[in-house]
A = this chain, B = another copy of it.
């Protein structure tokens, strides 16, 4: 491995590669070229080769990448070769929707506990999990070795929930509330903001401002 420091852009692309590689693996496809990856994922093949070269030179010219080996390698780099336990805070529609991804995420990250501050929700089931009260948060995070929290509460509650997660020793947060959370520097926050994906689509409407492939990768 070249270095401890992999740029955020690369780290964000690795799960995208992984998703498609898992699809190939399920279809028992043994190898894949950077051309095919590029075409399927709408990325420049040269960029893909550059990304994967970070982790050693395991593509073979004319044959491509070994799918199983690449999956193993990417999972190792992303530290997904052991299960990471996740808590979901907010048992509303979005929380329900996300809990359905557990099957898809199996053996990588897993939602193992769900919390809600709204009393009538406590004790109800989300798939196989029983919704717990916020007063159980710290204890459950300790007991289950939960390292990541997903916040799907209303905007007005999101910062308070983040504070409780930080206090309980969580290491990273995926935030679905469209606000900017304040957290200490050792807690990494990613914001899953679908409005950004949606609003940026508008730019491409109507006069068909298509980007050149190399333009897309210039920043």
Interface on A for B, CB 8 Å cutoff? Answer: 4-12, 14-16, 18-20, 23, 40-41, 77-80, 84, 86, 92-94, 96-98, 100-101, 104-105, 108-109, 147-148, 150, 152, 171-172, 174, 176, 178-180, 185-186, 188, 190-206, 208-212, 215-219
Contact = CB atoms under 8 A, between A and B. Distances in A.
A201 B180 contact: no
Q: Please give the count of copies of this chain that the complex contains.
A: 2
19 contacts: A9-B219, A11-B200, A12-B196, A23-B179, A23-B180, A41-B180, A77-B203, A79-B203, A86-B198, A92-B97, A93-B100, A97-B97, A104-B178, A109-B199, A150-B198, A172-B201, A172-B204, A188-B201, A188-B205
Most interface-central of A12, A18, A179 (chain B CB within 10 A): A12
Contact of A216 (B8, B93, B192, B205): B8
A95 B86 CA distance: 23
Ordered nearest first, which 6 A-B pairs have the shortest CB separation? A94-B97, A9-B219, A15-B199, A93-B97, A93-B96, A188-B204
DSSP class of A's interface residues: helix, strand, loop or mixed?
Answer: mixed
Contacts of A108: 199, 202
Given A97-B152, A98-B194, 9 more contacts: A9-B219, A14-B200, A92-B97, A101-B195, A171-B206, A172-B201, A174-B201, A176-B194, A217-B219
A197 to B, nearest CB: 5
Nearest to A74: B199
